[in-house]
């Protein structure tokens, strides 16, 4: 059966993002139920949900991998990506936001803005993704729409304005007031099939008028034409369509956030769906995508139009047990048909498009083609990885890639039996293809396989998946910290000279480098200051390559060197004996010697740690963090008797923290942490690390 075609202005590509446990997956389930994709709402704790289809997700009751589903609401096609809330799987949020047009940010109405809410909000800011806010769980004890709204104002944006107000409080909530139509929409039971339209309760009219004025006044400020009309005719002179248009323009600006709330399990999500259609952008609203020509580097524009040349971005790889490798991709321009050939502009390779499928989480629906603005998956691409651009063979373009953080936690891993060695290598390779924040390396000295990830849970899930999906049992070592090395002294000048004479043609490379520290997090910078051709231009790049290779192995304890500036300012060459290899080795020698002379320092990853705890355990929690070389940044009241403590603690002190915290607070405290920055290791700790590595 041919798929019905949806006009591009009726497509919504949107993500559901939030802190862990705010109710993203439950809200998604309710949306799928309301749009007719499901006959009942699956419960997270029962392991029945559509988008949490991995065994590990169902056992733990958390989302690990982002899942895509397509549904229809009032003649709009909505492509939804349900993303994880746990910081260890932040890569899933990052890559989803890169290809989405809008987002619904879900908040736990009992907690308001939590630490990971801030992280996903910042990620959405980075990709300039317009969003609406849904305050969930306000029907539960401790749920409070207005208090949660205050936390959005104080911690995220003052420009968040309700479009609906809840009717009732906590368990008595039974609907909302729509501030645009000034009608009430209520239900008797949250699982009712439809909302009942009615008049606003008498005791809420003043409150509704106040919030409506605030909403309109701030929405029209983002639209000049509407602002003029507002000044001419006043609030009463604006029609419902005018107000909707003003809110839509304001939300699309990325500087205005419409807020609604309710019970994410129930019929009220229909109001969320209406808001997605009314206020979140279509691919047309997001406009043109820009990229570069792979050879000339010239800027190229691609409009969201199916008559343009095809351009798309592969944003996620997954291994499907039935069809093999799936590449999820977003089409920015043109169209793509199954059986056709496309260019992977990132690698320069031609790829055949086997089947194209529209994903319903872990189920698939075959389609013959997808067009501009859509999201789907291709079966059978051979050499495509996350972030690669797929495009028309005759009109190549490279779109902006997705950048991912370096993983801070490592463990050694080995198969339980020697015969599983090859199976383990294949399994790890497959998992690394899917997840750009999961890295594999082999320690040259010990021969050990080292795997690195974003946290202990991340690596635990990887090992578990290896066992279940690839039937490889493995032994794992203690978690290791990904330390780094850098320099503290500026302007260190050093010569690297490589001369070899062994009969016939020799080797000659001679360079002078000036080393200085770069700003923290700025990475490596190479500056070519050669004048007069004292080092010929064809040898400049090999010098840079030699420096980069030498940086992978620092002088203190063998950790990678980061955040340095290397300026090549002098050198010499030999007409006959000089070669690229000689200059590469000279660059490498100069870097190693220069780092030794530039006051090298060892750096450790420092985590931003947020602990939510009952007040009675606050002293113990703070004392424990202080004992781990932590620095307490702030303490806030979340609700009666609950405190939120934010601090910065070295990662090396935090292994096993979650388990210890639960046992010391009778299971009532929770924590989350994310990599914040790298900082210099104190001398006493550095000595212990160096001694350990020297063994």
Same domain, 473 and 489: no
Q: What is the mean pLDDT of the chain?
A: 84
Residue 82 is predicted with a pLDDT of 64
The answer to whether 89 touches 96, Cβ cutoff 8 Å, is no
Burial classification of residue 444, based on how many CB atoms lie within 10 Å of its CB (0-12 exposed, 13-18 middle, 19 or more buried): exposed
Is residue 509 in a domain? yes
Residue 503 is predicted with a pLDDT of 63
Same domain, 429 and 389: no
Is residue 336 in a domain? yes
Please state, as a whole number, how many other Cβ atoms lie within 10 Å of the Cβ of residue 188: 10
Burial classification of residue 194, based on how many CB atoms lie within 10 Å of its CB (0-12 exposed, 13-18 middle, 19 or more buried): exposed
Same domain, 266 and 331: no
End-to-end CA distance of the chain: 66
What percentage of the chain carries pLDDT values higher than 70? 90
Same domain, 274 and 299: no
* CATH number of the domain bearing residue 95: 3.40.50.300
Confidence of residue 367 (pLDDT cuts 50, 70, 90): confident
- Angle of helix 540-551 relative to helix 580-597, nearest 10 degrees? 50
Residue 37 is predicted with a pLDDT of 64
- Long-range residue pairs from 523-526, CB within 8 A, at least 24 positions apart, any chain: 523/562, 523/563, 524/548, 524/551, 524/562, 524/563, 524/564, 524/565, 524/566, 525/564, 525/565, 525/566, 526/566, 526/567, 526/568
Write the CB contacts of 138 (distance below 8 Å, at least 6 apart in sequence): 109, 144, 145, 148, 166, 170, 173, 261, 262, 263
Q: 257-262 and 131-136 as β-strands: parallel, antiparallel, unpaired?
A: parallel
Q: Which of 480, 506, 528 is the last residue of a domain?
A: 480
At residue 315, the 3 state secondary structure works out as strand
* CATH number of the domain bearing residue 391: 2.40.30.10
**How confident is the model over 535-592, as pLDDT tens digits?**
999 999 999 999 999 998 889 888 899 999 999 999 999 888 889 999 999 999 999 9
What percentage of the chain carries pLDDT values higher than 90? 38
Arithmetic mean of pLDDT, 594-622: 90
> Looking at 229-233, 306-310, 372-376, 449-453, which range is the least confident one?
449-453
> Looking at 14-18, 104-108, 175-179, 392-396, which range is the least confident one?
14-18
Residue 91 is predicted with a pLDDT of 63
Q: Could you identify the residue written with the tokens 């950790």?
A: 559
CA dihedral 88, 92, 94, 99 (to 10 degrees): 180
Is residue 220 in a domain? no
Instruction: Kindly tell me if the per-residue pLDDT of 325 is higher than 90.
Output: no
Is residue 207 in a domain? no
| DSSP letter for each residue of 620-671 | HHHHHHHHTT-EEEEEEEEETTEEEEEEEEEGGG-TTHHHHHHHHTTT--EE
Is residue 505 in a domain? yes
Same domain, 361 and 497: no
Record the tokens describing residue 562, joined without a space.
């980061």
Q: How far apart are CA 658 and CA 611, in angstroms?
A: 10
Is residue 617 in a domain? yes
Instruction: Kindly tell me if the per-residue pLDDT of 679 is higher than 80.
Output: yes
Arithmetic mean of pLDDT, 617-624: 91
**What's the residue count for the chain?**
695
Burial classification of residue 12, based on how many CB atoms lie within 10 Å of its CB (0-12 exposed, 13-18 middle, 19 or more buried): buried
Residue 278 is predicted with a pLDDT of 94
Q: Is the dihedral of CA 649, 655, 658, 659 positive or negative?
A: negative
Q: What angle do CA 446, 448, 449 make, to 5 degrees?
A: 150
Is residue 511 in a domain? yes
Same domain, 638 and 545: no
The answer to whether 565 touches 525, Cβ cutoff 8 Å, is yes
Instruction: Kindly tell me if the per-residue pLDDT of 167 is higher than 80.
Output: yes
Q: Which of 399, 433, 455 is the last residue of a domain?
A: 399
Q: In terms of Cα–Cα distance, which of 354, 279, 284 is closest to 323?
A: 354
Confidence of residue 4 (pLDDT cuts 50, 70, 90): low
Same domain, 192 and 48: yes
**How confident is the model over 411-466, as pLDDT tens digits?**
888 888 878 888 888 888 888 887 778 888 886 656 778 888 877 777 888 888 88
Arithmetic mean of pLDDT, 485-491: 93
The answer to whether 373 touches 304, Cβ cutoff 8 Å, is yes
**How confident is the model over 219-264, as pLDDT tens digits?**
999 888 889 998 988 888 899 999 999 999 999 999 999 999 998 8
Q: Which of 358, 374, 399 is the last residue of a domain?
A: 399
The answer to whether 668 touches 614, Cβ cutoff 8 Å, is yes
Confidence of residue 54 (pLDDT cuts 50, 70, 90): very low
Q: Could you identify the residue written with the tokens 């070669």?
A: 579
Arithmetic mean of pLDDT, 622-633: 92
Show the domain range for 629: 605-694
**Number of folded domains that form the chain:** 5
The answer to whether 449 touches 480, Cβ cutoff 8 Å, is no
Same domain, 375 and 430: no
Residue 61 is predicted with a pLDDT of 43
Same domain, 139 and 268: yes
Record the tokens describing residue 454, joined without a space.
């974003």
Please state, as a whole number, how many other Cβ atoms lie within 10 Å of the Cβ of residue 410: 19
The answer to whether 665 touches 614, Cβ cutoff 8 Å, is yes
Confidence of residue 92 (pLDDT cuts 50, 70, 90): low
Same domain, 268 and 163: yes
Same domain, 154 and 131: yes
Confidence of residue 57 (pLDDT cuts 50, 70, 90): very low
* CATH number of the domain bearing residue 613: 3.30.70.240
Q: Could you identify the residue written with the tokens 């013959």?
A: 368
Residue 690 is predicted with a pLDDT of 82
Q: Could you identify the residue written with the tokens 């635990």?
A: 460
The answer to whether 343 touches 351, Cβ cutoff 8 Å, is yes
Residue 644 is predicted with a pLDDT of 87
Q: How far apart are CA 463 and CA 212, in angstroms?
A: 52
Record the tokens describing residue 590, joined without a space.
């100069």
Same domain, 281 and 332: no
Instruction: Kindly tell me if the per-residue pLDDT of 63 is higher than 90.
Output: no
Q: How far apart are CA 19 and CA 440, in angstroms?
A: 28
For 311, the enclosing helix (H) or strand (E) is: strand 311-320
Is residue 236 in a domain? no
**How confident is the model over 130-150, as pLDDT tens digits?**
999 999 999 898 899 999 999
| DSSP letter for each residue of 413-439 | EEESSGGGHHHHHHHHHHHHHH-TT-E
Confidence of residue 96 (pLDDT cuts 50, 70, 90): confident
Confidence of residue 39 (pLDDT cuts 50, 70, 90): low
């Amino acid at each position: 059966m041919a798929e019905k075609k949806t006009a591009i202005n009726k497509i919504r590509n949107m993500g559901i993002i939030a802190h862990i446990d705010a109710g993203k997956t439950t809200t998604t389930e309710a949306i799928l139920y309301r749009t007719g994709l499901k006959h009942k709402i699956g419960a997270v704790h029962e392991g029945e949900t559509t988008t949490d289809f991995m065994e590990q997700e169902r056992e733990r009751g958390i989302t690990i991998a982002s899942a895509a589903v397509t549904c229809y609401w009032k003649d709009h096609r909505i492509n939804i990506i349900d993303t994880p809330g746990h910081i260890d799987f932040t890569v899933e949020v990052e890559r989803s936001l890169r290809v989405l047009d809008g987002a619904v940010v879900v908040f736990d109405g009992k907690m308001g803005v939590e630490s990971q809410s801030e992280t996903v909000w910042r990620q959405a800011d980075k990709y300039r993704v317009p969003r609406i806010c849904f305050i969930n769980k306000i029907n539960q004890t401790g749920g409070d729409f207005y208090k949660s709204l205050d936390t959005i104002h104080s911690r995220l944006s003052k420009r968040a304005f309700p479009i609906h107000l809840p009717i009732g409080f906590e368990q008595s909530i039974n609907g909302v007031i729509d501030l645009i139509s000034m009608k009430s929409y209520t239900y008797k039971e949250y699982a009712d099939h439809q909302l009942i339209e009615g008049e606003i309760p008498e005791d809420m009219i003043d409150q509704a008028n106040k919030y409506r004025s605030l909403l309109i006044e701030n929405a029209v400020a983002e639209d000049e034409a509407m602002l003029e009309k507002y000044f001419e005719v006043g609030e009463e002179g604006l029609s419902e369509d005018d107000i909707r248009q003003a809110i839509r323009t304001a939300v699309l600006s990325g500087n205005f956030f419409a807020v609604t709330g309710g019970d994410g399990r129930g019929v009220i999500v229909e109001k969320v769906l209406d808001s997605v259609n009314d206020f979140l952008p279509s691919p047309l609203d997001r406009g043109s995508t820009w990229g570069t020509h792979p050879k000339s580097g010239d800027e190229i524009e691609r409009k969201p139009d199916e008559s343009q040349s095809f351009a798309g971005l592969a944003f996620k790889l997954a291994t499907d047990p039935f069809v093999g490798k799936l590449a999820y991709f977003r089409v920015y321009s043109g169209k793509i048909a199954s059986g056709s050939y496309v260019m992977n502009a990132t690698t320069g390779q031609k790829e055949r498009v086997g089947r194209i499928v529209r994903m319903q989480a872990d189920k698939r629906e075959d389609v013959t083609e997808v067009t501009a603005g859509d999201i789907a998956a291709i079966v059978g691409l051979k050499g495509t990885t996350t972030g690669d651009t797929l495009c028309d063979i005759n009109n190549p373009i490279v779109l902006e890639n997705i950048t991912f953080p370096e993983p801070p936690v490592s463990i050694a891993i080995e198969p339980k039996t020697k015969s599983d060695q090859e199976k383990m290598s294949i399994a790890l390779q497959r998992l690394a293809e899917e997840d750009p924040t999961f890295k594999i390396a082999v320690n040259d000295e010990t021969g050990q396989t080292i795997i690195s990830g974003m946290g202990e849970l991340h690596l635990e899930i990887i090992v578990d998946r290896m066992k279940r999906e690839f039937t490889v049992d493995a032994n794992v070592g203690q978690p290791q910290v990904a330390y780094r090395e850098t320099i503290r002294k500026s302007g260190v000048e050093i010569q690297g000279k490589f001369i070899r004479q062994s009969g016939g043609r020799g080797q000659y490379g001679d360079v002078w480098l000036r080393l200085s520290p770069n700003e923290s997090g700025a990475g490596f910078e190479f500056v070519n200051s050669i004048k007069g051709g004292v080092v010929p231009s064809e040898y400049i790049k090999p010098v840079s390559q030699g420096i980069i290779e030498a940086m992978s192995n620092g002088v203190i304890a063998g950790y990678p060197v980061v955040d340095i500036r290397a300026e090549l300012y002098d050198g010499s060459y030999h007409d006959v004996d000089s070669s690229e290899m000689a200059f590469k080795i000279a660059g490498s020698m100069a870097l190693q010697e220069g780092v030794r002379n530039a006051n090298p320092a060892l750096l450790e990853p420092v985590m931003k740690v947020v602990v939510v705890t009952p007040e009675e355990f606050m002293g113990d929690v703070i004392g424990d963090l202080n004992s781990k070389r932590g620095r307490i940044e702030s303490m806030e009241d979340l609700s009666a008797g609950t405190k939120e403590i934010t601090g910065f603690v070295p990662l090396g002190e935090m292994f096993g923290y979650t388990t210890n915290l639960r046992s010391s607070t009778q299971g009532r405290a929770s924590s989350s942490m994310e990599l914040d920055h790298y900082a210099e290791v104190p001398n006493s700790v550095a000595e212990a690390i160096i001694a350990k590595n020297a063994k």
